[in-house]
């Protein structure tokens, strides 16, 4: 006889304990079933035949969610903010756990056995990396209409309105002519935000240490700092500019003064060059890790704009692989110089920059401590195999990859390396793919980090479809862009030559 438990009424928190010590035979027989759902489906089957199954699924998910909330609350010491985050996002957590288990069909079932529920619960607890950010970033500017307030509020908090995005000066600076004053203001805003975060984390260090739930409960704070540094690369920081960056060293946050060095990755003849940015500690006696920042696909008026777009469509290669190959030797020399008798390097990058930061970890594993890659496309099979063949023993860099909810870019590429922490990042709101790609979710109070099953992700239908489309379209797009770029360079050189010849002619005529 099959025992069925009706959960259509009020949920009892003790329900799980009631059956968790049952024998294997009894546990196998226990099925959570809702007669109310069945009757609701029958009542609506005539009037709403197309929505009947949706009613089943939504109500059934609600019961599962209630079940897990009570379990996590009773078995783990969650504080109120963490419980609030889990309560808001429990449906997404359950769906993510089912994806990791390769059992998304459970969300469509009307009957689920206790063994299946236990399996989902175990995966939920395993997959939760962190719940909430104890110190979300704050942006407090007196004039909210300034460029730094608009941009930082966008990536950290609220999405700006269409009117703000189409501001005449902003559009001109992005698409027509670089505005150095705008960029300087935004860099100052980034610096203010980093310093404010450090002062807050210094004052609340004891409170932060108490938050233990999740495998990496404090990771959102490190990730938020790294994501803001990845944003900094788009602001055209000049050589030798100083910046103070909070870094977690030996479980303690410190504010380190760094000096910026621009590292040109592409040769001069390729027009506007692409750069990486090296940050070395100003106080050479202080053993702080140097930082390496890679810039992603950038806006039209920035340096390396066209080359960054070209790097996005590398045929038969990882995104950014050709640019990384061109600058590899310069990067190696800079990394070796700044890791000699010092701590290993820390690397950050977003999008295209995130892909190149992962390639840096594969190219220089013995010189890099950790990598934080934000919304990067996955690497090619060749790069993944190269990483997986590295010796299992010895110091390999810690690699953390952050994939924002709704962002499609991480679905491109073949997959991720063994041992990487690949996290599904869920923020306080759901955005469209474009906004999700640039949003710094880790800086929000209600952020949730969930561990992604890399093998299931590699076999995901979306990844296979997008990777196949990428493989088919990259070659013709790349060839077209190369042809356009070559014509542009030829016209540019021809114009320079004609200008030079014209200058000589007029000088001779004037002297004669």
pLDDT bin (cut points 50, 70, 90) of residue 509 is low
pLDDT at 294: 97
pLDDT at 31: 37
Residue 145, pLDDT > 80, answer: no
What's the gap between Cα 96 and its chain centre?
Answer: 17
Predicted confidence (pLDDT) per residue in 418-434, tens digit: 999 999 999 888 888 88
pLDDT at 71: 60
What are the DSSP calls for 217-247, one per residue? TTHHHHHHHHHHHHHHGGG-PPTT-EEEEEE
Rg (CA), the chain: 27
Residue 135, pLDDT > 50, answer: yes
pLDDT bin (cut points 50, 70, 90) of residue 76 is low
pLDDT bin (cut points 50, 70, 90) of residue 212 is low
Average pLDDT over residues 31-36: 33
Give the residue with greater pLDDT, 16 vs 92: 92
Q: 3-state DSSP helix/strand/coil percent for the chain, to nearest 5?
A: 55, 15, 30
Determine which of 65-79, 191-205, 291-305 has the lowest per-residue pLDDT on average: 65-79
Give the residue with greater pLDDT, 485 vs 365: 365
pLDDT at 418: 92
pLDDT bin (cut points 50, 70, 90) of residue 23 is very low
Average pLDDT over residues 205-211: 56
Average pLDDT over residues 36-45: 33
pLDDT at 213: 67
pLDDT at 143: 60
Give the burial class of 175: count Cβ atoms within 10 A of its Cβ; 0-12 exposed, 13-18 middle, 19 or more buried: exposed
Predicted confidence (pLDDT) per residue in 382-415, tens digit: 999 999 998 876 678 999 999 999 899 999 988 9
Average pLDDT over residues 169-176: 81
Average pLDDT over residues 309-322: 89
**What stretch of H or E contains 305?**
helix 305-312
Q: In what order do the strands lie in the sheet with 4-6?
A: 4-6, 31-33, 112-113
Cβ atoms of 403 and 460 within 8 Å: the answer is no
| Averaged pLDDT of the chain | 79
Average pLDDT over residues 263-269: 89
Residue 25, pLDDT > 60, answer: no
Residue 364 CA to residue 508 CA, distance in Å, equals 56
pLDDT bin (cut points 50, 70, 90) of residue 37 is very low
Ranges for all domains in the chain classified under CATH 3.40.50.1820: 187-468
pLDDT bin (cut points 50, 70, 90) of residue 62 is low
Is 80 in a helix, a strand, or coil? helix
Which pTM was predicted? 0.83
187-468, superfamily in CATH? Alpha/Beta hydrolase fold, catalytic domain (3.40.50.1820)
pLDDT at 49: 37
Predicted confidence (pLDDT) per residue in 326-343, tens digit: 999 999 999 999 887 678
pLDDT at 173: 81
Give the residue with greater pLDDT, 374 vs 506: 374
Residue 428 CA to residue 441 CA, distance in Å, equals 8
Predicted confidence (pLDDT) per residue in 465-486, tens digit: 888 888 888 888 888 988 888 8
Looking at the chain, the whole-number percentage of residues with pLDDT higher than 70 is 75
pLDDT at 42: 36
Name the nearest CA neighbour of 95 among 467, 445, 424, 459: 424
Residue 484 CA to residue 450 CA, distance in Å, equals 43
pLDDT at 85: 81
Residue 232, pLDDT > 50, answer: yes
pLDDT at 130: 86
Give the bridge partners for 372, in sequence order.
348, 400
pLDDT bin (cut points 50, 70, 90) of residue 357 is very high
Residue 488, pLDDT > 50, answer: yes
pLDDT at 150: 65
pLDDT at 243: 95
Residue 33, pLDDT > 80, answer: no
Give the burial class of 105: count Cβ atoms within 10 A of its Cβ; 0-12 exposed, 13-18 middle, 19 or more buried: exposed
Average pLDDT over residues 169-177: 82
């Amino acid at each position: 006889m099959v025992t069925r438990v009706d959960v259509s009424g009020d949920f009892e928190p003790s329900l799980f304990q009631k059956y968790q010590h049952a024998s294997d035979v009894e546990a196998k027989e226990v099925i959570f079933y809702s007669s109310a759902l069945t009757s609701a489906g029958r009542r609506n089957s005539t009037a709403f035949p197309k929505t009947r199954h949706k009613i089943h699924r939504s109500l059934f998910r609600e019961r599962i969610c209630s079940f897990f909330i009570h379990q996590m609350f009773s078995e783990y010491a969650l504080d109120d903010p963490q419980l609030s985050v889990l309560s808001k996002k429990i449906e997404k957590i359950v769906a993510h756990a089912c994806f990791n288990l390769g059992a998304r069909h459970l969300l469509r079932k009307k009957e689920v056995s206790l063994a299946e529920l236990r399996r989902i619960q175990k995966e939920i607890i395993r997959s939760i990396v962190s719940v909430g950010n104890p110190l979300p970033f704050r942006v407090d500017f007196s004039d909210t209409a300034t460029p730094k307030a608009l941009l930082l509020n966008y990536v950290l908090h609220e999405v700006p309105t269409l009117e703000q995005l189409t501001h005449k000066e902003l559009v001109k600076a992005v698409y027509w002519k670089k505005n150095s004053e705008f960029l300087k203001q935004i860099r100052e805003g980034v610096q203010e935000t980093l310093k404010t975060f450090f002062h807050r984390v210094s004052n609340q260090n004891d409170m932060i240490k108490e938050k233990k739930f999740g495998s990496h409960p404090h990771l959102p704070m490190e990730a938020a700092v790294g994501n803001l540094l990845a944003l900094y690369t788009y602001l055209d920081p000049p050589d030798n500019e100083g910046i103070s960056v909070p870094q977690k060293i030996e479980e303690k946050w410190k504010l380190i003064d760094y000096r910026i060095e621009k590292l040109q990755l592409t040769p001069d003849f390729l027009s506007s060059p692409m750069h990486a940015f090296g940050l070395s500690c100003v106080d050479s006696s202080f053993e702080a890790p140097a930082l390496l920042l890679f810039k992603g696909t950038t806006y039209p008026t920035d340096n390396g704009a066209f080359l960054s777009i070209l790097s996005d469509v590398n045929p038969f290669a990882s995104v950014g692989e050709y640019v990384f190959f061109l600058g590899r030797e310069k990067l190696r020399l800079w990394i070796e110089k700044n890791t000699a008798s010092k701590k290993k390097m820390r690397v950050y990058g977003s999008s295209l920059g995130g892909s190149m930061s992962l390639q840096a970890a594969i190219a220089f594993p013995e010189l890099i401590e950790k990598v934080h890659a934000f919304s990067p496309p996955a690497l090619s099979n060749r790069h993944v195999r190269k990483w997986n063949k590295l010796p299992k023993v010895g110091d390999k860099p810690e690699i953390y990859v952050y994939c924002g909810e709704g962002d499609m870019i991480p679905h491109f590429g073949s997959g991720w390396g063994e041992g990487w922490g690949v996290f599904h990042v869920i923020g306080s709101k759901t955005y469209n793919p474009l906004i999700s790609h640039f949003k710094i979710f880790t800086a929000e109070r209600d952020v949730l980090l969930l561990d992604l099953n890399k093998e299931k992700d590699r076999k995901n239908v979306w990844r296979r479809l997008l990777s196949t489309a990428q493989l088919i379209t990259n070659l013709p797009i790349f060839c077209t862009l190369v042809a356009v770029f070559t014509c542009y360079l030829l016209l540019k050189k021809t114009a320079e030559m004609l200008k030079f010849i014209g200058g000589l002619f007029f000088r001779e005529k004037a002297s004669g």
